[in-house]
Structure 1
Amino acid sequence: MVISFAFKLSSSPISHHPSPSPIIRTQEKRNRLSLLQKSELHPDLNLDKFERLTKGSSEPPDVIKKWGESFYNLISQKAGVDTFTQFLRSEFSEENIEFWMACEDYKKCKDASQLSLKAQAIYETFIEKEAPKEVNLDFNTKVCTSENMSHPTLNTFDAAQNKIYALMEQDSYPRFLKSDLYLDMVHGQPRGHSALRRRSRSFTFNEFKDVQPDFAIWM
Protein backbone atom coordinates (compact mmCIF):
# COMPACT_ATOMS: atom_id res chain seq x y z
CA MET A 1 0.00 0.00 0.00
CA VAL A 2 2.80 2.39 0.82
CA ILE A 3 4.58 1.72 -2.46
CA SER A 4 1.39 2.20 -4.45
CA PHE A 5 0.63 5.48 -2.71
CA ALA A 6 4.15 6.74 -3.32
CA PHE A 7 3.85 5.83 -7.00
CA LYS A 8 0.62 7.77 -7.34
CA LEU A 9 2.22 10.82 -5.81
CA SER A 10 5.19 10.63 -8.13
CA SER A 11 2.89 10.16 -11.11
CA SER A 12 0.69 13.13 -10.28
CA PRO A 13 0.29 15.60 -13.16
CA ILE A 14 0.77 18.47 -10.70
CA SER A 15 4.31 19.76 -11.09
CA HIS A 16 6.20 21.48 -8.32
CA HIS A 17 9.12 23.70 -9.11
CA PRO A 18 11.98 23.02 -6.70
CA SER A 19 12.98 25.89 -4.46
CA PRO A 20 16.28 27.53 -5.39
CA SER A 21 19.21 26.15 -3.44
CA PRO A 22 20.77 28.35 -0.73
CA ILE A 23 23.75 28.92 -3.01
CA ILE A 24 21.53 30.18 -5.84
CA ARG A 25 19.55 32.42 -3.48
CA THR A 26 22.77 33.86 -2.10
CA GLN A 27 24.10 34.55 -5.59
CA GLU A 28 20.85 36.24 -6.62
CA LYS A 29 21.01 38.45 -3.54
CA ARG A 30 24.60 39.35 -4.29
CA ASN A 31 23.66 40.27 -7.84
CA ARG A 32 20.93 42.61 -6.61
CA LEU A 33 23.18 44.20 -4.02
CA SER A 34 25.92 44.75 -6.58
CA LEU A 35 23.58 47.11 -8.42
CA LEU A 36 23.52 49.39 -5.39
CA GLN A 37 27.26 49.25 -4.96
CA LYS A 38 27.67 51.29 -8.15
CA SER A 39 26.10 54.39 -6.62
CA GLU A 40 26.62 57.76 -8.24
CA LEU A 41 26.28 59.66 -4.95
CA HIS A 42 29.80 59.38 -3.56
CA PRO A 43 31.69 56.83 -5.66
CA ASP A 44 35.11 57.89 -4.36
CA LEU A 45 34.43 57.19 -0.68
CA ASN A 46 35.00 53.90 1.09
CA LEU A 47 35.24 52.75 4.69
CA ASP A 48 39.01 53.24 4.83
CA LYS A 49 38.69 56.90 3.99
CA PHE A 50 36.59 57.48 7.11
CA GLU A 51 39.75 57.12 9.15
CA ARG A 52 41.28 60.03 7.28
CA LEU A 53 38.36 62.24 8.30
CA THR A 54 39.56 62.15 11.91
CA LYS A 55 42.79 63.95 11.02
CA GLY A 56 41.20 67.33 10.34
CA SER A 57 38.86 69.15 8.01
CA SER A 58 39.59 71.13 4.88
CA GLU A 59 36.10 72.64 4.86
CA PRO A 60 35.90 76.42 5.46
CA PRO A 61 34.73 77.35 8.99
CA ASP A 62 31.65 79.14 7.65
CA VAL A 63 30.55 75.96 5.84
CA ILE A 64 31.03 73.86 8.96
CA LYS A 65 29.04 76.34 11.04
CA LYS A 66 26.19 76.19 8.53
CA TRP A 67 25.92 72.48 9.24
CA GLY A 68 24.77 73.52 12.69
CA GLU A 69 21.96 75.68 11.32
CA SER A 70 19.90 72.84 9.89
CA PHE A 71 20.04 69.13 9.20
CA TYR A 72 19.39 69.87 5.52
CA ASN A 73 22.53 72.02 5.33
CA LEU A 74 24.51 69.13 6.78
CA ILE A 75 23.41 66.36 4.45
CA SER A 76 23.14 68.49 1.33
CA GLN A 77 26.94 68.48 1.06
CA LYS A 78 29.22 65.51 0.53
CA ALA A 79 31.58 66.55 3.32
CA GLY A 80 28.62 66.96 5.66
CA VAL A 81 27.31 63.49 4.82
CA ASP A 82 30.77 61.99 5.29
CA THR A 83 31.17 63.64 8.70
CA PHE A 84 27.67 62.75 9.89
CA THR A 85 28.19 59.16 8.76
CA GLN A 86 31.39 59.04 10.79
CA PHE A 87 29.39 60.20 13.82
CA LEU A 88 26.67 57.60 13.25
CA ARG A 89 29.33 54.92 12.98
CA SER A 90 30.51 55.90 16.46
CA GLU A 91 26.95 55.22 17.65
CA PHE A 92 26.56 52.05 15.60
CA SER A 93 23.58 53.49 13.72
CA GLU A 94 25.03 54.23 10.29
CA GLU A 95 22.30 52.13 8.67
CA ASN A 96 20.02 55.18 8.80
CA ILE A 97 22.13 57.43 6.61
CA GLU A 98 23.02 54.51 4.35
CA PHE A 99 19.34 53.74 3.80
CA TRP A 100 18.55 57.41 3.14
CA MET A 101 21.36 57.64 0.59
CA ALA A 102 20.41 54.35 -1.05
CA CYS A 103 16.92 55.80 -1.54
CA GLU A 104 18.36 58.99 -3.01
CA ASP A 105 20.37 56.94 -5.47
CA TYR A 106 17.38 54.70 -6.21
CA LYS A 107 15.26 57.70 -7.26
CA LYS A 108 17.87 58.57 -9.87
CA CYS A 109 17.52 55.20 -11.60
CA LYS A 110 16.61 55.72 -15.27
CA ASP A 111 16.79 52.09 -16.33
CA ALA A 112 13.35 50.54 -15.84
CA SER A 113 14.80 47.05 -16.12
CA GLN A 114 17.02 47.69 -13.10
CA LEU A 115 14.40 49.40 -10.94
CA SER A 116 12.83 46.22 -9.57
CA LEU A 117 16.21 44.65 -8.76
CA LYS A 118 17.41 47.75 -6.95
CA ALA A 119 14.15 48.00 -5.03
CA GLN A 120 14.43 44.38 -3.93
CA ALA A 121 18.03 44.89 -2.81
CA ILE A 122 17.08 47.91 -0.70
CA TYR A 123 14.09 46.10 0.77
CA GLU A 124 16.11 43.00 1.69
CA THR A 125 18.93 45.08 3.15
CA PHE A 126 17.03 47.69 5.15
CA ILE A 127 13.28 47.00 5.41
CA GLU A 128 12.29 43.36 5.79
CA LYS A 129 12.22 41.71 9.21
CA GLU A 130 15.70 40.89 10.49
CA ALA A 131 17.31 42.53 7.46
CA PRO A 132 21.10 42.89 7.85
CA LYS A 133 20.78 46.68 8.14
CA GLU A 134 17.18 46.92 9.29
CA VAL A 135 16.13 50.50 10.00
CA ASN A 136 13.66 51.46 12.70
CA LEU A 137 10.28 51.91 11.01
CA ASP A 138 6.78 51.79 12.43
CA PHE A 139 4.42 48.98 11.47
CA ASN A 140 2.25 51.01 9.08
CA THR A 141 5.23 52.35 7.14
CA LYS A 142 6.64 48.85 6.79
CA VAL A 143 3.32 47.53 5.51
CA CYS A 144 3.00 50.40 3.05
CA THR A 145 6.52 49.85 1.74
CA SER A 146 5.96 46.10 1.48
CA GLU A 147 2.82 46.68 -0.60
CA ASN A 148 4.72 49.07 -2.87
CA MET A 149 7.17 46.29 -3.67
CA SER A 150 4.59 44.52 -5.85
CA HIS A 151 5.05 47.22 -8.49
CA PRO A 152 8.16 49.25 -7.67
CA THR A 153 8.29 52.88 -8.80
CA LEU A 154 10.70 55.72 -8.09
CA ASN A 155 8.51 56.62 -5.09
CA THR A 156 8.39 53.15 -3.54
CA PHE A 157 10.50 54.11 -0.52
CA ASP A 158 9.37 57.72 -0.04
CA ALA A 159 7.39 57.09 3.14
CA ALA A 160 10.15 55.03 4.73
CA GLN A 161 12.85 57.48 3.67
CA ASN A 162 10.93 60.41 5.16
CA LYS A 163 10.56 58.54 8.46
CA ILE A 164 14.28 57.85 8.69
CA TYR A 165 15.12 61.43 7.70
CA ALA A 166 12.92 62.69 10.55
CA LEU A 167 14.49 60.19 12.94
CA MET A 168 18.00 61.39 12.12
CA GLU A 169 16.98 65.04 12.24
CA GLN A 170 15.23 64.78 15.60
CA ASP A 171 17.38 62.18 17.34
CA SER A 172 20.91 61.86 15.94
CA TYR A 173 21.46 65.38 14.61
CA PRO A 174 21.12 67.17 18.02
CA ARG A 175 23.69 64.77 19.49
CA PHE A 176 25.97 65.33 16.51
CA LEU A 177 25.98 69.07 17.19
CA LYS A 178 27.13 68.40 20.77
CA SER A 179 29.70 65.78 19.81
CA ASP A 180 33.46 66.21 20.01
CA LEU A 181 33.56 65.37 16.33
CA TYR A 182 31.59 68.45 15.31
CA LEU A 183 32.74 70.84 18.05
CA ASP A 184 36.38 70.16 17.26
CA MET A 185 35.69 70.98 13.62
CA VAL A 186 33.94 74.23 14.54
CA HIS A 187 36.93 75.29 16.62
CA GLY A 188 39.43 74.15 14.03
CA GLN A 189 40.87 71.32 16.10
CA PRO A 190 41.72 67.79 14.90
CA ARG A 191 38.69 65.61 14.99
CA GLY A 192 38.59 62.77 17.46
CA HIS A 193 36.24 60.00 18.53
CA SER A 194 33.98 60.44 21.52
CA ALA A 195 35.07 58.43 24.54
CA LEU A 196 31.66 56.85 24.90
CA ARG A 197 30.18 54.62 22.22
CA ARG A 198 26.55 53.63 22.43
CA ARG A 199 25.59 50.22 21.10
CA SER A 200 22.36 50.16 19.10
CA ARG A 201 20.51 47.43 17.26
CA SER A 202 22.63 48.06 14.17
CA PHE A 203 24.08 45.30 12.03
CA THR A 204 27.73 44.31 12.02
CA PHE A 205 29.20 42.59 8.99
CA ASN A 206 30.12 39.43 10.93
CA GLU A 207 26.44 38.84 11.65
CA PHE A 208 25.53 38.49 7.97
CA LYS A 209 27.65 35.76 6.44
CA ASP A 210 25.86 35.15 3.14
CA VAL A 211 26.20 38.65 1.72
CA GLN A 212 28.79 41.20 2.74
CA PRO A 213 28.37 44.24 0.46
CA ASP A 214 30.34 47.42 1.01
CA PHE A 215 27.53 49.82 1.82
CA ALA A 216 29.88 52.72 2.21
CA ILE A 217 30.19 52.85 -1.60
CA TRP A 218 26.78 54.52 -1.54
CA MET A 219 28.25 57.54 0.23
Structure 2
Amino acid sequence: MIFKPKSRFKIAIKWFPIEFFVVIVSFLCGWLINQTVFKPTYTASSNIVIQRDIGKNKSKQQRNAARKLDSENVTQFNVVPRKRWVLNTANEYAYTHYGTWQSLTDLSESVSATAIPKQPKLRLSVTSSSKAVARQNLTAFSYAVKTAIDTVDDYQVKIGKVEVNYQLTGSKKNVYKYALIVGIFLAVITPYLVMMIRGEEDGDKDAS
Protein backbone atom coordinates (compact mmCIF):
# COMPACT_ATOMS: atom_id res chain seq x y z
CA MET A 1 0.00 0.00 0.00
CA ILE A 2 1.17 3.49 -0.85
CA PHE A 3 -0.12 6.42 1.15
CA LYS A 4 0.59 10.06 0.53
CA PRO A 5 1.13 12.40 3.51
CA LYS A 6 -2.36 13.89 3.10
CA SER A 7 -4.03 10.48 3.12
CA ARG A 8 -1.95 9.39 6.15
CA PHE A 9 -3.22 12.41 8.06
CA LYS A 10 -6.82 11.66 7.12
CA ILE A 11 -6.41 8.05 8.20
CA ALA A 12 -4.96 9.14 11.55
CA ILE A 13 -7.93 11.44 12.16
CA LYS A 14 -10.45 8.80 11.09
CA TRP A 15 -8.93 6.10 13.28
CA PHE A 16 -8.10 8.30 16.26
CA PRO A 17 -10.65 6.72 18.68
CA ILE A 18 -9.26 3.25 17.93
CA GLU A 19 -5.66 4.46 18.18
CA PHE A 20 -6.38 6.16 21.50
CA PHE A 21 -8.01 2.95 22.77
CA VAL A 22 -4.93 0.91 21.78
CA VAL A 23 -2.64 3.29 23.70
CA ILE A 24 -4.87 3.10 26.80
CA VAL A 25 -4.99 -0.71 26.66
CA SER A 26 -1.19 -0.88 26.40
CA PHE A 27 -0.79 1.46 29.35
CA LEU A 28 -3.24 -0.63 31.41
CA CYS A 29 -1.22 -3.74 30.54
CA GLY A 30 1.85 -1.98 31.92
CA TRP A 31 -0.08 -1.07 35.07
CA LEU A 32 -1.21 -4.69 35.46
CA ILE A 33 2.38 -5.93 35.11
CA ASN A 34 3.53 -3.47 37.78
CA GLN A 35 0.77 -4.53 40.15
CA THR A 36 1.48 -8.25 39.79
CA VAL A 37 5.27 -8.31 39.37
CA PHE A 38 6.72 -5.26 41.09
CA LYS A 39 5.69 -4.35 44.62
CA PRO A 40 4.83 -0.72 45.37
CA THR A 41 7.15 1.28 47.57
CA TYR A 42 5.95 3.65 50.27
CA THR A 43 8.18 6.08 52.14
CA ALA A 44 7.08 7.51 55.48
CA SER A 45 9.07 10.55 56.62
CA SER A 46 9.15 13.11 59.38
CA ASN A 47 11.47 15.82 60.60
CA ILE A 48 13.05 15.44 64.02
CA VAL A 49 14.08 18.71 65.62
CA ILE A 50 17.24 18.26 67.71
CA GLN A 51 18.25 21.29 69.81
CA ARG A 52 20.20 21.88 72.96
CA ASP A 53 18.52 23.37 75.99
CA ILE A 54 20.22 26.79 76.17
CA GLY A 55 18.29 28.09 79.17
CA LYS A 56 16.24 31.25 79.60
CA ASN A 57 18.97 33.64 80.69
CA LYS A 58 20.87 33.72 77.40
CA SER A 59 20.99 36.77 75.16
CA LYS A 60 19.56 36.78 71.64
CA GLN A 61 23.06 36.64 70.21
CA GLN A 62 23.92 33.62 72.34
CA ARG A 63 20.69 31.89 71.31
CA ASN A 64 21.35 32.50 67.62
CA ALA A 65 24.89 31.19 67.99
CA ALA A 66 23.61 28.09 69.80
CA ARG A 67 21.00 27.38 67.11
CA LYS A 68 23.61 27.78 64.40
CA LEU A 69 25.82 25.30 66.20
CA ASP A 70 22.86 22.91 66.52
CA SER A 71 22.36 23.09 62.74
CA GLU A 72 26.03 22.28 62.17
CA ASN A 73 26.09 19.42 64.66
CA VAL A 74 22.89 17.65 63.57
CA THR A 75 24.78 15.59 60.97
CA GLN A 76 26.33 13.56 63.80
CA PHE A 77 22.91 11.97 64.39
CA ASN A 78 22.58 10.57 60.83
CA VAL A 79 23.87 7.17 61.95
CA VAL A 80 21.69 6.89 65.06
CA PRO A 81 18.75 5.01 63.43
CA ARG A 82 21.08 2.20 62.32
CA LYS A 83 22.70 1.65 65.68
CA ARG A 84 21.96 -1.89 66.82
CA TRP A 85 20.31 -0.96 70.11
CA VAL A 86 18.19 1.68 68.34
CA LEU A 87 17.08 -0.98 65.84
CA ASN A 88 16.22 -3.28 68.76
CA THR A 89 14.21 -0.53 70.44
CA ALA A 90 12.30 0.21 67.23
CA ASN A 91 11.62 -3.48 66.66
CA GLU A 92 10.35 -3.98 70.20
CA TYR A 93 8.14 -0.90 69.89
CA ALA A 94 6.64 -2.16 66.61
CA TYR A 95 6.04 -5.60 68.07
CA THR A 96 4.47 -4.24 71.27
CA HIS A 97 2.18 -1.72 69.55
CA TYR A 98 1.46 -3.32 66.17
CA GLY A 99 2.29 -7.00 66.59
CA THR A 100 4.91 -6.98 63.82
CA TRP A 101 8.34 -8.53 64.29
CA GLN A 102 11.02 -7.88 61.67
CA SER A 103 14.64 -8.81 61.27
CA LEU A 104 17.18 -6.16 62.23
CA THR A 105 18.73 -6.44 58.76
CA ASP A 106 15.43 -5.58 57.07
CA LEU A 107 14.85 -2.70 59.46
CA SER A 108 18.35 -1.36 58.93
CA GLU A 109 17.94 -1.44 55.14
CA SER A 110 14.56 0.30 55.30
CA VAL A 111 15.57 3.32 57.41
CA SER A 112 17.63 6.38 56.58
CA ALA A 113 18.35 9.72 58.21
CA THR A 114 19.66 12.90 56.61
CA ALA A 115 20.43 16.23 58.19
CA ILE A 116 18.51 19.14 56.68
CA PRO A 117 21.00 21.86 55.64
CA LYS A 118 21.12 24.98 57.82
CA GLN A 119 18.46 23.64 60.18
CA PRO A 120 18.68 21.67 63.43
CA LYS A 121 16.53 18.96 61.87
CA LEU A 122 17.02 15.33 60.97
CA ARG A 123 14.91 13.90 58.13
CA LEU A 124 13.96 10.37 59.17
CA SER A 125 12.59 8.12 56.42
CA VAL A 126 11.37 4.52 56.40
CA THR A 127 10.42 2.53 53.28
CA SER A 128 8.14 -0.48 52.93
CA SER A 129 5.95 -2.23 50.38
CA SER A 130 3.06 -1.62 52.79
CA LYS A 131 1.77 1.89 53.48
CA ALA A 132 0.63 0.90 56.98
CA VAL A 133 3.94 -0.77 57.87
CA ALA A 134 5.91 2.23 56.59
CA ARG A 135 3.93 4.52 58.88
CA GLN A 136 4.16 2.14 61.83
CA ASN A 137 7.91 1.64 61.43
CA LEU A 138 8.44 5.39 61.21
CA THR A 139 6.60 5.82 64.52
CA ALA A 140 8.71 3.07 66.03
CA PHE A 141 11.98 4.58 64.78
CA SER A 142 10.94 8.06 65.86
CA TYR A 143 10.45 6.74 69.38
CA ALA A 144 13.75 4.83 69.29
CA VAL A 145 15.74 7.79 67.95
CA LYS A 146 14.17 10.17 70.46
CA THR A 147 14.98 7.77 73.27
CA ALA A 148 18.58 7.52 72.10
CA ILE A 149 19.15 11.26 71.75
CA ASP A 150 17.37 12.05 75.00
CA THR A 151 20.22 10.26 76.76
CA VAL A 152 22.62 12.92 75.46
CA ASP A 153 22.94 15.76 77.96
CA ASP A 154 21.19 19.07 77.22
CA TYR A 155 19.45 17.94 74.02
CA GLN A 156 15.73 18.27 73.35
CA VAL A 157 13.97 16.25 70.65
CA LYS A 158 10.67 17.01 68.93
CA ILE A 159 8.99 14.75 66.34
CA GLY A 160 7.36 16.49 63.38
CA LYS A 161 4.40 15.62 61.17
CA VAL A 162 4.40 12.27 59.38
CA GLU A 163 4.24 12.18 55.58
CA VAL A 164 3.70 9.02 53.52
CA ASN A 165 4.54 9.07 49.81
CA TYR A 166 4.18 6.47 47.08
CA GLN A 167 7.29 6.06 44.96
CA LEU A 168 7.80 4.48 41.57
CA THR A 169 10.85 2.25 41.41
CA GLY A 170 13.10 2.29 38.37
CA SER A 171 11.60 -1.00 37.17
CA LYS A 172 8.08 0.36 37.40
CA LYS A 173 8.99 3.47 35.43
CA ASN A 174 10.58 1.36 32.71
CA VAL A 175 7.48 -0.82 32.40
CA TYR A 176 5.26 2.23 31.98
CA LYS A 177 7.69 3.74 29.46
CA TYR A 178 7.89 0.63 27.30
CA ALA A 179 4.14 0.04 27.53
CA LEU A 180 3.55 3.58 26.27
CA ILE A 181 6.08 3.19 23.43
CA VAL A 182 4.53 -0.12 22.35
CA GLY A 183 1.06 1.37 22.62
CA ILE A 184 1.92 4.31 20.38
CA PHE A 185 3.61 2.01 17.85
CA LEU A 186 0.61 -0.32 17.72
CA ALA A 187 -1.76 2.65 17.46
CA VAL A 188 0.15 3.98 14.45
CA ILE A 189 0.22 0.69 12.53
CA THR A 190 -3.24 -0.62 13.48
CA PRO A 191 -5.17 1.25 10.73
CA TYR A 192 -2.78 0.04 8.05
CA LEU A 193 -2.87 -3.57 9.30
CA VAL A 194 -6.66 -3.56 9.24
CA MET A 195 -6.73 -2.02 5.77
CA MET A 196 -4.20 -4.57 4.56
CA ILE A 197 -6.30 -7.45 5.90
CA ARG A 198 -9.36 -5.98 4.22
CA GLY A 199 -7.47 -5.67 0.95
CA GLU A 200 -7.84 -1.91 0.80
CA GLU A 201 -4.71 -1.10 -1.18
CA ASP A 202 -5.65 2.35 -2.44
CA GLY A 203 -4.86 4.50 0.55
CA ASP A 204 -5.93 7.78 -1.05
CA LYS A 205 -9.29 6.38 -2.04
CA ASP A 206 -9.97 4.94 1.42
CA ALA A 207 -8.94 8.12 3.24
CA SER A 208 -11.08 10.38 1.05
Give the TM-score normalised by the residue count of structure 1.
Answer: 0.20
- Structure number with larger C-alpha Rg: 2
Q: TM-score, normalization: structure 2? A: 0.21
User: With CA pairs under 8 Å and 6+ residues apart, which has the higher RCO, 1 or 2?
Assistant: 2
